[in-house]
Structure 1
């Protein structure tokens, strides 16, 4: 049975989610992605990716009230065991693809 391939943003969102841990909701994920990629990241694009990842069973979410600090409820996301497996698989695949090509990239054009 074939598995859905992770898109670039989905892969990045899973990594940001892993870094942010238990307090992962959309805003901190966007900040983490922008800091790590050096690019502007759309909140809407991250939210759509999170919902897609949830549909794939790679993340779960729950709506939490802000508690004492006030404000509106936030949807927090957590990486599932399957999400961790998929990240490991993606990492292994990328390392295999990079194996042996670094010297070619170091050559002057």
Structure 2
């Protein structure tokens, strides 16, 4: 189990990298998460998560072309690896099993 360990934020970032496919770089990832989840994302937290996931082998990165618009600094693009895809599949399976294991009574409970 530990080999696929993903935190909630890492899972969201990894899913977003997959959604953005070949356009997954810091600013685009941040904007997509904020738009979809209506949740603020700090640049530091995002970069930290991306570095952690790269170390774990869930994503790989490469530099794009340097542009004048960015002061000659290239964008760093992130790509999901097959290991990252397996981690997402594992998380989805575990969550589905937990949902399916809940008694109907639990799901139908009402709070007063």
Same fold (TM over 0.5): yes
Once superposed, which parts of structure 1, at least 4 consecutive aligned residues long, lie more than 3 Å away? Answer: 100-103
**TM-aligned CA distance change 1:102 to 1:9, over 3 Å:** farther
TM-align CA RMSD: 2.0
Q: Are the counterparts in 1 of residues 17 and 24 from structure 2 also a CA contact under 8 Å?
A: yes
Q: TM-score, normalized by length of structure 2?
A: 0.85
TM score, norm. by length of structure 1: 0.87
How many corresponding residue pairs?
108
Unaligned runs of 5+ in 2: none
Superposed CA offset, 1:69-107 (max 9, x none): 742311100000111011000100011111153842442
Unmatched segments (≥5 aa) in structure 1: none
Q: Which has the higher contact order (CA 8 A, sep 6+)?
A: 2
CA distance in structure 1 between the aligned counterparts of 2:39 and 2:108, rounded to whole angstroms: 25
